[in-house]
Amino acid sequence: MEDSNKENFSKIIPLHKLGFESSVFWSILEGKKTIEGRLAKGKFLSFTVGDKILLREDIWEDGKIVNSRNTGKVASILAVKQYVSFEEMLKSEGLENVLPSAQSLQDALKIYRQFYSKNDEDKYGVVALKIALG
């Protein structure tokens, strides 16, 4: 392998595909949502600073994804932090950065409970991804 090819190969940045509920997706595009919280398991454990996320808009009805739209929008991961719980993450990162539409901490926790059980949260913990478009 030529030296220039080795150099280009070492600069490959991981691109993760990730879906977001429609209102959350638009909050990211508007720059209001800067922290994404997920269970600390599976692929989310491999996310690191500098990785890119290809944003997908997911349309939900009755607790199920009924449509998805690949948007071509990309976000960069600026920081990765682990927390014991969504509550700890929300308090530390700021409600306005994680779920800008939530009116209170309890409101935000109810939103997370639509997607994640308390048992899974206790088992895996939470990862907070600081993201920005680009």
Which pair of tokens denotes residue 121? 């949260």
Q: Is residue 6 part of a domain?
A: no
Q: Is residue 119 part of a domain?
A: yes
| pLDDT bucket at 9, cuts 50 / 70 / 90 | very low
Please name which of 44, 35, 49, 130 lies closest in space to residue 90, comparing C-alpha atoms.
Answer: 35
More confident residue, 22 or 132: 132
Segment 88-124, tens digit of pLDDT? 999 999 999 999 999 999 999 999 998 899 999 999 9
Q: Is residue 3 part of a domain?
A: no
| Mean pLDDT taken over the chain | 89
Q: In whole angstroms, give the CA distance from residue 30 to residue 82.
A: 25
Give the model's pLDDT for residue 49.
Answer: 96
Q: Which domain holds residue 107?
A: 15-133
Q: CATH no. for residue 23?
A: 2.30.130.30
53 beta partners: 16, 75
Indicate whether 68 pLDDT > 90: no
Q: Is residue 8 part of a domain?
A: no
Give the model's pLDDT for residue 6.
Answer: 45
| pLDDT bucket at 32, cuts 50 / 70 / 90 | very high
| pLDDT bucket at 10, cuts 50 / 70 / 90 | very low
59 with 70: CB under 8 angstroms? no
Number of domains in the chain: 1
Q: Is residue 31 part of a domain?
A: yes
Q: Is residue 4 part of a domain?
A: no
Average pLDDT over residues 74-78: 96
Q: Is residue 2 part of a domain?
A: no
Average pLDDT over residues 57-83: 89
Q: Is residue 9 part of a domain?
A: no
Q: Kindly report the pTM of this predicted structure.
A: 0.85
Which pair of tokens denotes residue 49? 């600073």
Please name which of 56, 99, 46 lies closest in space to residue 77, comparing C-alpha atoms.
Answer: 46
Average pLDDT over residues 61-71: 84
